[in-house]
Structure 1
């Protein structure tokens, strides 16, 4: 039998052995017990990754609760040290990937790092301006339009000028290609895509209802692949046109653009997102729109075979190279 080569894999084997000794309880039963006994919200997908040694519990309390459920004892010093080593190992690997990313830097490609958009549906100009100022020495940015004049000709020109400057920065990013693993995303990553989105709670023009932070109510869009979902809340202030409002209320739409990854959704915040058994990431959309059909990035578009409805979850999934 091959000896595990990493602390993460060794931790996974230890957890799997504990589960086996306990009679191999189901993932769903462990999730239910953690919630009932300790008020800790786990997910079956996260547990599966931990037992296989593919991921490490980022919250020590979750790790301690799992060990308690499997052994009726808190983690001993050896397990604590192994968890700490596995977590530090994971963080080092993530930082190394960020420092030397594969297929993520614009220098490895020809042409702009952002998809060319023929129509912009959403553009968070404040965040874009902040990002530009943090990455460049110049403060020569267009004056941001007021939201009340967002659709006016002058406002459109200012928005386009800002987006041209943003695209010209040629920033390092990660790209949603066919072989990209969403689990490799880290906080602060710029993530570029041209893919199918699901939409929920679409905003309405001139909607005075304030955002609550609860995505069961607030407008948002999301993408998913292989049990990972990235949720992007929408601020109606940055929706550009009436057509865009219609797209965000349609239930599903093809969108190209870029977002910035905020991080994983913590279990304590799980009640603020629609229920799912997928690993959740939250992201802030910077630009969303329709890609130029004559100038699409082939690495982003080489993906969809066909879309089908999953009758068990009543959701649209992609069947083909990317999976559901």
Structure 2
């Protein structure tokens, strides 16, 4: 287990902490994802775990041992970087076994680990090629193989797929996840991509400005966002969040809520329907500014009853929706989320 206990990071030239009291237990064999916008502190936390960044406050405990002051090599983990960090003058095999040679691991053990790792990442036939002769995905596999041969039970990954094209990035997600399951190792993975977080993480920690916003499974974060930041960060397109239920009512949209009438209400874009499914579905008059077909879905952009906020809704199907006029959309009442005036969740009805 990796335990972060009120972890803090303060740089000398700054008075405010850039990492603020982060506390979480990462379980053995878990694929744990840290996600957030640029500058949220996720890579800094990863580097603090690795020993590449000093810890200002709090404790880092791995397998019951406090690691704050131990050097990276004493932490029994390995790291995969965004830029792969391969030696250009070394072959694939030499890159993979470099760390083993530095630790003077027996030659027979090196060869066996190398063979096993190459087979796992599908690079057996590339053992004697150089990095310049490999594609981006193959270079990433070499970096993974180097971590695997180290024998570490914890692998830290800092945005390892960000340099790959979209199609290769998607396939590598599943390969990394399958490899982690097969090896039973603990992975702490940093990304800014919420799709990666949702598809790869057993649990996800969302950060903003060095503060933990929420920790949970991908579905917990999607269905029960702790605040409007999480609600908008998780989901594509992002959740529509409108202020003041009373304003809705003044515009002819009836929302029965037990909460403060000035509460904010959130609706996932995919909750909208062109036809009611239940008698109590909420009907809204939606001005369609544009309609875009993307494969099997239609994205609608527009406003409700003259309100200023631009909303997005996602309708299943390739539909010919009229633009620059009103249409009626139906929203199940159990799809409404409520937030207080500070943006904290009040409830998600029906969940």
**TM-score, length basis structure 1:** 0.28
**TM-score, length basis structure 2:** 0.26
Q: Higher relative contact order by CA 8 Å / sep ≥ 6: 1 or 2?
A: 1
Q: Which has the larger radius of gyration?
A: 2
More strand per residue: 1 or 2? 2
